[in-house]
Amino acid sequence: MSNLRISGLHKSFDGHAVLHGVDLSVERGTLLALLGPSGSGKTTLLRVLCGFERADSGVVEIDGRRVAGDNLHLPSEQRRIGYVPQEGALFPHLSVADNIVFGLPRGQRRAQHRVAELLELVGLSANYANRAPQQLSGGQQQRVALARALAPSPTLVMLDEPFSSLDAALRLETRQAVANALAAAGATAVLVTHDQSEALSLGREVAVLWNGKLIQTATPETLYRRPVSRELASFIGEAVLLPGVASRDVARCALGELKLSTAVADGPIDVMVRPEQIYVLHAEDVTRHGKPTFSAIVREVTFNGQDASVVLQLQDESGAVGSGAPPDGTVIRARVPGYRSPQPGERVRLAVDGEVTAYARV
C-alpha cells in the first residue's frame, strides 16, 4: 500500500485555480522529488499535504489513513508529518538538543530523547547538542532541522527547498547528508524543488508539476531521456530541438539518421538531442562507427572547468555557411569535457551518440 496517495486534488485562491486534479502516489520508503518552475503550484501542494491549507476537493491519504477529502480536514499536528522549511527555522533561544526534541511529549523533551542518535543520523557528532543554532553553518542548521523533523518518527517527511539558501559546495554536501539520513531512517519523503539537478540526483522518482498539473512522474533517467513535451525537455537540463521527419523508429534531421527511443507516427517531428550526446570530433574524422559525421564551425565556447558549452554552426561539405537549406547554417549547442574544449573558429565534425526523443509537429 502506498504511504502517500493523492487523488483529484484541486485548490484555488480567490477564484484562481492553482492545482488542477493532481494525482500522485508515493511508495513507502521512497524519496520523491516534486519539481517545477516558480508558480507551478509546488508550495501550494506541499501546504495542502501538510494541512496548512484546506483542499477544495480531492483526497489525501497518508499510510492508508484519510487526512483530507469529503469535507474532512485533519489539522497538521494530527497528520504525523515531519516538515523541513527552506531556512531551517530553528529557535535561536534554544540549544540544538532542545530544538530537536521541541515537538515531542514533555517527558521525552526533558530526557532529550534520541538526540545523540538523531545527530549521528544526520552526520553531526553528539557534541553539537549544547550549541546554539547561530553557532552552526547553514548546512549544519538544515541537518538539525531534519533531525527535528525525524524525532517524532513521522510517516512522511516534507522538505520545502531546504538547500536553496546554501552556496554551491555546501549545498552538495548537505543534500547528500540529508539523503543518507532519510534512507537510513527508512523515511518516505517529498522534496519540493525547482532545481533540476537536485531533483534528478536525489529523487528515486521525480514528479513534475506544470501550471498546477502533474505532467510526468518517472525515474530520473526516464524523465531526462524521454520527457513528455518540448517544454519539459528544455526545463530538464539543456535540449537541442531540430526539425526532422520520422520514419518507423528513425528520425532524419540535420544531424543525420538517429534512432528514436520511443516510436512516433511517421511524418514531421521535432527531434530532441541532449548537448552531451553530440560528439565534437577532429575535422578529419569524416566517419564515426561507420556512420558519416557532419561538418561544423565553432562559434562560441563557454569554459566551465570540468566541461565546456560549445555553440556550433553546421556547414555544407563545400565549406559555405548559411546557404539556407538544412543542415547549412543550423546552430546547435554541444557539451564536451573541459580538456577537449575546441577554440572559436575551429572547424570540427559532429556525430550523435545514443537514442533521441521526438515530438510530433502539430
Distances (CA, A) of 240 to 144, 253, 273, 322: 41, 12, 5, 19
Residue-wise pLDDT tens digits, 124-173: 999 999 999 999 998 899 999 999 999 998 989 999 998 887 888 888 88
Q: Could you tell me if 40 and 18 are in contact, meaning their C-beta atoms sit under 8 angstroms apart?
A: no
Q: Domain 4-230 classified CATH 3.40.50.300?
A: yes
Instruction: Give residues with Cβ within 8 angstroms of 222, minimum separation 6.
Output: none
The whole-angstrom separation of Cα 187 and Cα 317 is 58
| Long-range Cβ pairs for the range 215-221 (8 Å, 24+) | 217/24
User: Is the model's pLDDT at 309 over the cut of 60?
Assistant: yes
Q: Which residues of 268-283 are buried (b: 16+ CB within 10 A; e: fewer)?
A: ebbbbbbbebbbbbee
Helices (H) and strands (E) in the chain, counts: 9, 23
Residue-wise pLDDT tens digits, 65-117: 999 998 899 999 899 999 998 877 899 999 999 999 998 888 888 888 889 99
| Residue 328 confidence class, pLDDT cut points 50, 70, 90 | low
According to DSSP, the β-strands at 156-160 and 189-193 are parallel
Same fold, 4-230 and 273-360: no
Q: Which three cell numbers stand for residue 275?
A: 548537448
Q: Which three cell numbers stand for residue 259?
A: 534512432
- Mean pLDDT value across residues 170-199: 90
DSSP 60: E
Report which of 10, 43, 39 is spatially closest to residue 210, judged by C-alpha positions: 39
According to DSSP, the β-strands at 287-288 and 291-292 are antiparallel
Class of the CATH-defined domain 273-360:
mainly beta
Domain spans of the chain, in order of start = 4-230, 273-360
Q: Could you tell me if 360 and 267 are in contact, meaning their C-beta atoms sit under 8 angstroms apart?
A: yes
Q: What's the whole-model pTM score? A: 0.88
